[in-house]
């Protein structure tokens, strides 16, 4: 008895520690997603508003969880991330969402008490694994399938049929009597056949003889309680990866609600750039949260988001380890040239007057220009004199054009000099 109590106590302790670890995986994922989103917006994780964002969202999550419903998983009741999601994002979503990344668990949250889930139900007559039905020389998965096939091949004589227990011995579960009728009112019997259930044996052709055969089913949507929906999730589905879309919905809802509360000191929620499933996937890394991480409760749920302090937390140099740089080498400060004042810089420009005391000089130069002549050099070559004056004729004939060209060139040069000053 003592051994049994100890084993029971250890199982409870391990479940609680496992549940806390589950919650921590979700906490880390959400925190990493928020950090990545802030970085995408051009901010650093050293920004105090990053910590303000985590603090504000953590406060909203814990406040929401305190008023949410508790659910039971594996015999233990408590609040989990599902409790927060139902009270916030998932409840207001209005469409089916797959809790598992594989799409195996799809829910449409109606209230905190009820949910619509997709389930597969076996409908109609099903085949029996390891057996098949013989009708005459033909084989079928079910007796009904055989009756339909016979009617399709004999439309003139068969309008409808019925499958009954074996008329000669109704206790025989391996036999069926099939009656075919010429009319749809079933008054004119065309033929009666016996269907026989036989073991597959060496038959590997029939679907029911395959090792992976499962009865056919249809996917339907049912409204059940949230607790029943949790109970319907298999252990295998519990261990599958949680859909990143679930976390993105929770983050968007919590960030938006927290940013609207008084005293919030974090980054504003950007409606134009919401957190997406891709953002969540990029931040999960190797430790991907499972469906169980989202559903399993904890005795002391804590939805506080941890800050990523790796290389991001600023420190006070006076409180850190001091580095000895050695004795003071006694090198003085560098000597800098005196920086001229603004008036000294502008003085040459302000005092510049090219026309001051130069009126006579300008007049003299103007007179000289009026009587200037094109130089016509004379060369003594090969016992003869050659006077070069063709260039003068060329320049005089094109004086106007040359003047315009040089005016443009000097204007460009002057403009560049002024802008380079």
Enumerate residues 6+ apart whose C-beta is below 8 A from 205.
139
At 369 the pLDDT is: 65
Give the mean pLDDT of 131-135.
93
> Does pTM surpass 0.75?
no
Of 79, 34, 67, the C-alpha closest to 52 is 34
**What pLDDT sits at residue 198?**
92
Instruction: Output the pLDDT for position 179.
Output: 94
CA distances from 164 to 142, 231, 324 (A): 13, 38, 99
Rounded average pLDDT over 301-330: 63
The pLDDT of residue 120 is 61
Over residues 357-410, the pLDDT tens digits come to: 556 666 666 666 666 678 888 888 888 888 888 888 888 888 889 889 989 999
Residue 91 — very low, low, confident or very high, per pLDDT cuts 50/70/90? Answer: low
Residue 128's pLDDT band (cuts 50, 70, 90) = confident
Lowest-pLDDT range, 213-222, 338-347, 402-411? 213-222
The one-character DSSP state at 333 is: P
CA–CA gap between residue 294 and residue 97 (Å, rounded): 14
- Say how far apart CA 166 and CA 175 lie, in whole Å: 5
Instruction: Determine the pLDDT at residue 148.
Output: 92
Does residue 177 carry a pLDDT above 90?
yes
How do beta strands 384-387 and 106-109 pair?
unpaired
Q: Assess contact for 209 and 215: CB atoms under 8 A.
A: no
Which residue would you say has higher pLDDT here, 24 or 398? Answer: 398
pLDDT higher than 50, residue 207: yes
User: In percent, how much of the chain has pLDDT > 70?
Assistant: 74
- Return contacts of 153-159, CB within 8 angstroms, 24+ apart: 154/180, 154/190, 157/182, 157/190, 157/191, 158/182, 158/190, 159/183, 159/184
By mean pLDDT, which of 178-187, 216-225, 309-318, 329-338 is the weakest? 309-318
**Cα 2 to chain centroid, rounded:** 52
Contacts 24+ apart (CB under 8 A), 140-144: 140/195, 141/206, 141/207, 141/208, 143/176, 143/178, 143/195
pLDDT at residue number 363: 66
For residue 141, give Cα distances in angstroms to 120, 133, 251, 273, 403: 20, 6, 50, 54, 106
Residue 102 has a pLDDT of: 59
Dihedral pair phi/psi, residue 67, rounded to 5°:
-105, 5
pLDDT tens digits for range 44-89: 878 888 888 989 888 888 887 777 777 778 777 777 777 766 655 5
Residue with tokens 């054009």: 401
Q: Is the pLDDT of residue 17 over 50?
A: no
Cβ-contact 183, 150 below 8 angstroms: no
């Amino acid at each position: 008895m003592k051994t049994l109590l100890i084993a029971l106590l250890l199982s409870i302790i391990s479940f609680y520690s496992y549940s806390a670890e589950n919650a921590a995986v979700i906490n880390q994922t959400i925190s990493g997603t928020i950090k990545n989103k802030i970085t995408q917006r051009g901010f650093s994780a050293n920004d105090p508003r990053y910590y303000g964002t985590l603090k504000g969202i953590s406060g909203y999550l814990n406040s929401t969880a305190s008023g949410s419903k508790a659910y039971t998983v594996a015999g233990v009741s408590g609040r989990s991330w599902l409790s927060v999601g139902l009270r916030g994002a998932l409840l207001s979503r209005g469409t089916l969402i797959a809790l598992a990344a594989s799409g195996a668990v799809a829910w449409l949250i109606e209230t905190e008490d009820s949910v619509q889930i997709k389930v597969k139900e076996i409908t109609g007559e099903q085949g029996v694994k390891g057996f098949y039905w013989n009708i005459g020389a033909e084989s079928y998965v079910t007796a009904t399938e055989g009756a339909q096939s016979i009617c399709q091949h004999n439309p003139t004589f068969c309008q409808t049929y019925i499958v009954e227990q074996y008329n000669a011995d109704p206790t025989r579960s391996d036999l069926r009597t099939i009656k075919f009728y010429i009319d749809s009112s079933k008054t004119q019997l065309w033929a009666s056949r016996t269907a026989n259930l036989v073991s597959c044996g060496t038959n590997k052709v029939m679907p029911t003889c395959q090792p992976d055969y499962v009865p056919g089913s249809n996917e339907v949507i049912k409204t059940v309680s949230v607790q029943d929906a949790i109970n319907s999730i298999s252990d295998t589905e519990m261990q599958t990866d949680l859909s990143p879309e679930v976390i993105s919905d929770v983050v968007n809802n919590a960030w938006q609600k927290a940013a609207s509360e008084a005293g919030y000191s974090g980054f504003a929620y950007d409606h134009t750039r919401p957190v997406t499933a891709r953002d969540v996937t990029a931040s999960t890394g190797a430790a991907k949260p499972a469906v169980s991480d989202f559903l399993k409760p904890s005795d002391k749920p804590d939805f506080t988001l941890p800050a990523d302090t790796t290389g991001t937390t600023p420190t006070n140099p006076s409180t850190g380890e001091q580095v000895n740089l050695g004795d003071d080498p006694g090198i003085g400060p560098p000597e800098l040239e005196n920086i001229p004042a603004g008036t000294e810089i502008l003085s040459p420009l302000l005092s510049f007057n090219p026309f001051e005391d130069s009126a006579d000089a300008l007049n003299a130069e103007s007179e000289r220009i009026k009587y200037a002549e094109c130089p016509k050099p004379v060369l003594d070559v090969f016992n003869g004199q050659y006077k070069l004056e063709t260039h003068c004729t060329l320049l005089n004939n094109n004086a106007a054009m040359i003047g315009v060209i040089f005016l443009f060139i000097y204007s460009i040069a002057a403009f560049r000099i002024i802008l380079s000053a």
